[in-house]
Structure 1
């Protein structure tokens, strides 16, 4: 429009730079493994928030029950992170490892890595490889910074 400065057309202030793209967030969360005589040992999983803020989980776990029959292989899962879903614990220790436009779309890469891990039929072991190895691997293989909110997470050191 004539007589209006260019920033009025976009709703931005003069000198504000280019408009920001969509914003997403990736967190690593930890839930305490119960039944281990009070030891502070944690299960890790990844939460991805899409541009609308909707959270999705990405995780691994054993396909078997454990005990004498074994734990089976690593089984991966993902979906909407809502009350009642596996690992649902909104107050769980958490650390944000990536946010902003660069985080958007990483969910597609996470799904691809989970499928690759499932197809490999890797035996699950409580000390690793395990669910914590899955969390670390999907971050590592997709270029997301690798950090965790807790100290004791067996299997974190193993990339699958």
Structure 2
């Protein structure tokens, strides 16, 4: 089991937790999200993945971030209301964190070490970058922001880490 799962996080409603508690031993797609971004409609596809795969051992985890042109300016309550009212989000969400730079959350310090399909690791490029974790907390895929959550390569990667 990866020590990534032991990293402390805070839920959007202010409760202390860990990545492992949020995943519950399931495969997870960790995504830095924002409410006022051109890519925000990806919330709809993320929620569809959550509904489709939840019973098979999968969860999406949304991680709000305001680092990209201030596109997640709201409070935790604003974010929760937007996600619920606009996209019917049911997947777990953390509090707002930084994903790049010296103040990057330890979760993202670790996630960004993982390369994408082109072999590129390093900083998150923009909102809605996706990291796929298997059930033991190992990063097994990284998908850049313009890759839609329901793209064939994301779906096949999710299918590959789901229990048989």
TM-score category, normalised to shorter length: under 0.3
TM-score, normalization: structure 1? 0.26
Indicate the structure with greater strand content: 1
TM value normalised by structure 2: 0.26
Larger of the two Rg values belongs to structure: 1
